[in-house]
Structure 1
C-alpha cells in the first residue's frame, strides 16, 4: 500500500502499463513454478520431509524466512536493488514450496489436481475482472485488509479451541477475502504500471515494482489455493 500511494499518478500510457503487467505476471509465474518444483521434490524425498517434520529449528527457519522475505520486499522495496528483490522473491517461492509440501502430502493427488484447476480458473477470472473493471476499488482495500487481519487472529485462536465451526468459517471467509484481494490488487497494479510509465521510471525500478506486484498476486493465488484445498479436501 505504501509503495502504491507513493507512486500513483494519472497516466495516459496503456502500452507501458501492459508491459509492466506482463512482467509482473511473468515473475509471478516463475515464482509459482519454483514453488511447484520444490514442493514436488520435497514430497518425493522422504529424508527432506522427515527432516522438516522432526527438526523444529528448520521448520521455524522456513516460516521466519518466508515472513522476512515478504516484509523486506513489501516495505523496503525502495531501498534494495532489483537483483536483491528478485533473489528474495525466488527464495521466498522456494521456501513456500517446502511449506506447501507439508500440506500437500496429506491430500490425494486427484484432490490436489482438481484444486489446482479450480484455483487457476478462479484466479484467471478474478484478475481479469480486476484488470477490466472501470469501478474504483480503492476503498475496498481497507475492508479486505481488516478481514485478513481478522482471519489471522481467528486462526491463531482456533489453534487452541480446535472448533470445527470456526475452522470452516475461516476457510470460506478466507477464500472470499483472497478472491476480493485478487481483484483489488490487479486493479491497483494496473494503476501502478500506468504511474511508473508516466514517470519514465528506470528499468531497474520497473523490475523492482514488477517483483513487488508479482509477490502480491502470488500471495493471493497461493492462499486461494490453500483455502480451496481445505474446502475440497475436507481435511483439518
Structure 2
C-alpha cells in the first residue's frame, strides 16, 4: 500500500503541494461527513428518547425509574417486537451499504449514509432510559477527546499500522463471538472483559482506519471525483463506527445508571 511520505518523496514542488492540498481536502470531507452523521444520530436518539419517556404518571404506562415513566410510544418502541427491528436494522443496512456502495451514485450513497445514521440514532435512543443525561454527555466528551487524539496519531505517524490492523480485525471477530456467547451466559465478569477489550480494539482501529483512509486517497488521487466521493463516504462510515463503538463501551464504565 502506498505510504504518504514515500508518495510525497517521489514528487516535488507544485506536484507535492497539490497532493498535500488534495489530501487535506479529502480528510476534511471525511471528518465533515462523519460529524454530520453524528449530529443526525444524536438528534434522532434524543428526540425519540424524549417522546418515549415522561415524568407525568398520568401519561406513563410503565415506571422505569424514579419519577420516570414509559409513554405508550416508548412501550411500543422498546417492549414490543419493534425493539428487534431497532436493534438489527442498522446492522442490516450497514452490511448492504458496504456491499453496494461501488454501484451507487455519490449523492445516493450520501443519502443512504444519513439514513443509516438516523437508524443508528433510533437504535441508541434506549441509552437515555438506562443512563443519566449528564453521564452520557460526559462519556461523549471523553470519547471525542480520545478519538481526536487517536485519529491525529493515525494521520501523522510514520509507522505503518497495517500489521496492527490485521491483529485488531482478528480481535474484533473474537469480541463479536464473546458478545454473542455472553447473551446466553449473562456473565458480569465476561461483560467487563468485553468492554475493556472493546475500548482497546476500537481505539486502535481509529488510528488504523485514519491512516488507511489517507493511504487509499494517495493511491487513488488521480481517480475521478465520483470515486473519491465514495471513498470519502466509506472513510466517514468507518470512523463513525469506530467512534460509536468506543462510546458505547466507555459508557459501560463511565455511565451512571438511572
With the length of structure 1 as denominator, give the TM-score of the two structures: 0.90
Are 2:194 and 1:188 equivalent residues in the alignment? no
- C-alpha RMSD of matched pairs (Å): 1.9
Q: C-alpha offsets along residues 147-202 of structure 1, whole Å, 9 cap, x if unaligned?
A: 111111111111111111101000000000000000000000011122222x2x22
Using the TM superposition, give the Cα deviation of residue 141 of structure 1 relative to its aligned residue in structure 2, in angstroms.
1.3
**Whole-angstrom distance in 1 between the partners of 2:3 and 2:90:** 28
Stretches of structure 2 that go unaligned for 5 or more consecutive residues are: 9-18, 53-71
Report what 1:106 is aligned to.
130
Larger relative contact order (CA 8 Å, sep ≥ 6): 1
Q: Tell me how far 1:109 sits from its aligned partner.
A: 1.5
Q: Does residue 33 of structure 1 match 2:3?
A: no
> 1:55: Cα distance to partner?
2.6
1:43 equivalent among 21, 41, 49:
49
Distance of 1:40 and 1:80 partners within structure 2 = 31
Structure 1 runs (4+) greater than 3 angstroms displaced? 7-12
After superposition, where does 1:12-161 map in structure 2 within 5 Å? 12=8, 13-46=19-52, 47-56=72-81, 58-161=82-185
Q: How many residues end up aligned between the 2 structures? A: 227
**TM-score for the superposition, normalised by structure 2:** 0.82
Contact preservation (8 Å) 1:16, 1:194:
no
Distance 2:104 2:197 in 1: 35
Equivalent position to 1:219, from 236, 241, 245: 241
Task: Give the counterpart of 2:189 among 158, 161, 165.
Answer: 165
- Bigger fraction of residues in helix: 1
Unaligned runs of 5+ in 1: none
Aligned counterpart in structure 2 of residue 206 of structure 1, from 178, 203, 228: 228
Higher alpha-carbon Rg: 2
Post-superposition offset of 1:8 = 9.1
The CA deviation at 1:45 is: 0.2
- Whether contact under 8 Å (1:31, 1:89) holds in the other structure is yes
Check the 8 A contact 2:90/2:123 in 1, yes or no.
Answer: no
Quote the Cα distance in structure 2 between the aligned partners of 1:219 and 1:22.
18
Change (3 A) 1:144 1:48: farther
Q: Give the distance between the partners of 1:189 and 1:52, measured in 2 at CA.
A: 37
Return 62-71 or 76-85, whichever deviates more. Answer: 62-71
